[in-house]
Amino acid sequence: MKDLPDFNTMSDADFRALAREFVETNYPDIPRYSLSRLHWDVVKPWYLILSDHGWICPTWPREYGGMGLAAGKHLILIEEFERFGAARVNDIGPVMLGPLLLKYGTDEQKAHYLPRILSGQDVWAQGYSEPGAGSDLAAVRCEAVLDGEEWVINGQKTWCTLGMDANWIFILARTDKSVKKQAGISFLLVPMDAPGVSIRNIENLELEAEFCEVFFDNVRVPAGNIVGGVNNGWTAAKALLGHERVFIGAPRLSAAAMARLEKIARRAGIWQDPVFRDRFVALQCDLADLGDLFETYVDKLRGGQAIGADVSMLKIFQSELYQRISELMMEVAAEGSGLTNPPEGDRQLHAAATYLSARPTTIFGGSTEIMRNMLAKAVLELPS
């Protein structure tokens, strides 16, 4: 294990410079500024470089092989990597499973799984959603029944991001049908090569297989593959969402899109057009306001305060702003908006790519509509 310094004692400016130098020095010869997620065979070198330097799990405590970054420093790291256009690695192990195991896992589970995530030996997929349980996640039907010393799993998971690249998947499975729907769910770890597991890729609107469905047909895993206790999966799964909800509302997607919008407008010869500028600065103001709202949450994280349900406002506005920027891009790109390939081979000038990549952001991680329902009840205290 790397013996890393405590980055949190550095000034923000120093850490920013360090993060920038790190990515500039170490980034391998793989695509930058990719709008779609890269598959494991492409992105693996970057994962392994991050792993070698001890930078693969920024938020894990240092004693478990992470960088132990506080929220504010983590944000700086993300910003600098985004600025460089570094590809997002398969981060479900580092971002989702790791913190969950740290909180709910047994000592054996931590000792076994965490090092394998750090080294890239295990690549994880997430199995929460099902065809009938998307935003209504508690409606999961995939079932696990205890048979002696093994769980027997039957059912289906879907929208597993980059699941075809994973060798392990964690799932929410129903383990008790007799209780309230949130109360009968458990969190299980399943190897993808177990007999009875099968995969079907799903092509998205960009004709790329970023997701897959995973089917479980009498799949057997040891009883010890449960995390957080029987029927406690809902609590464990929800606990993951704290800090991540702040970062999902970060202005970085919209900021990057604004930079691309400017490039497209310059290329189209309308950068000085007053009508375009009027709309551009309106979006720019929205982005700056989002940045200030985001900072209020980062300040809360820095100060160790809990993040409430109101944080979903960030995600709603961020994703809708990202879409509005992409909509103006399409208009500016004129007839070029309907092209399959980016003009002059520059991915940053391809309006359609941003437009399509902006579509899922109001759907994943809780759709905008569901989030508005939650906000209305939990924050505005409107009646049911």
* Residues with catalytic function: 244
Backbone angles phi, psi at 124, to 5 degrees: -100, 150
Residues composing the chain: 384
Kindly give, in sequence order, each residue whose CB lies less than 8 Å from that of residue 369, ignoring residues fewer than 6 positions away: 135
Q: Establish if 310 lies at the interface with another protein (CB under 8 A).
A: yes
Smallest gap from Cβ 371 to another protein, in A, equals 8
Tell me which residue of 64, 61, 80, 113 sits closest to 227, measured CA to CA: 113
Q: Is the Cα torsion angle 248, 311, 295, 281 positive or negative in sign?
A: positive
Smallest gap from Cβ 369 to another protein, in A, equals 7
According to DSSP H, which parts of the chain are helical? Answer: 12-26, 40-52, 71-84, 98-104, 107-119, 233-239, 241-248, 252-268, 274-302, 312-332, 351-358, 368-378
User: Among residues 18 and 375, whose Cβ is nearest to another protein?
Assistant: 375
Cβ count within 10 A of residue 292 = 9
Which of the residues 16 through 35 are near another protein (CB under 8 A)? none
How far is it, in rounded angstroms, from Cα 188 to Cα 153? Answer: 10
CA 70 to chain centre: 18
User: Among residues 239 and 285, whose Cβ is nearest to another protein?
Assistant: 285
User: Among residues 30 and 313, whose Cβ is nearest to another protein?
Assistant: 313
Please pick, from the candidates 277, 300, 347, 359, the single residue that binds another protein as defined by CB under 8 A.
Answer: 277
- Using only C-alpha atoms, the chain has a radius of gyration, in whole angstroms, of 22
Per-residue binder mask for another protein (CB under 8 A), 312-351, x = binder: -x--xx----------------------------------
Q: Is the Cα torsion angle 35, 40, 43, 48 positive or negative in sign?
A: positive
User: Among residues 11 and 178, whose Cβ is nearest to another protein?
Assistant: 11
155 in Cβ contact with 132 (< 8 Å): no
User: Among residues 33 and 271, whose Cβ is nearest to another protein?
Assistant: 271
Interface with another protein (CB under 8 A), residue total: 33
Please pick, from the candidates 3, 107, 278, 335, the single residue that binds another protein as defined by CB under 8 A.
Answer: 278
Q: Establish if 288 lies at the interface with another protein (CB under 8 A).
A: yes
Please pick, from the candidates 280, 301, 333, 358, the single residue that binds another protein as defined by CB under 8 A.
Answer: 280
Which of the residues 108 through 137 are near another protein (CB under 8 A)? none
Tokens of 43: 């992105």
Please pick, from the candidates 281, 309, 334, 339, the single residue that binds another protein as defined by CB under 8 A.
Answer: 281
Per-residue binder mask for another protein (CB under 8 A), 352-371, x = binder: -----------------x--
143-147/150-161 β-pairing: antiparallel
Q: Establish if 200 lies at the interface with another protein (CB under 8 A).
A: no
**Bridge partners (DSSP) listed for residue 200:** 213
Smallest gap from Cβ 281 to another protein, in A, equals 4
User: Among residues 95 and 321, whose Cβ is nearest to another protein?
Assistant: 321
Q: Establish if 290 lies at the interface with another protein (CB under 8 A).
A: yes
Smallest gap from Cβ 166 to another protein, in A, equals 35
Smallest gap from Cβ 258 to another protein, in A, equals 12
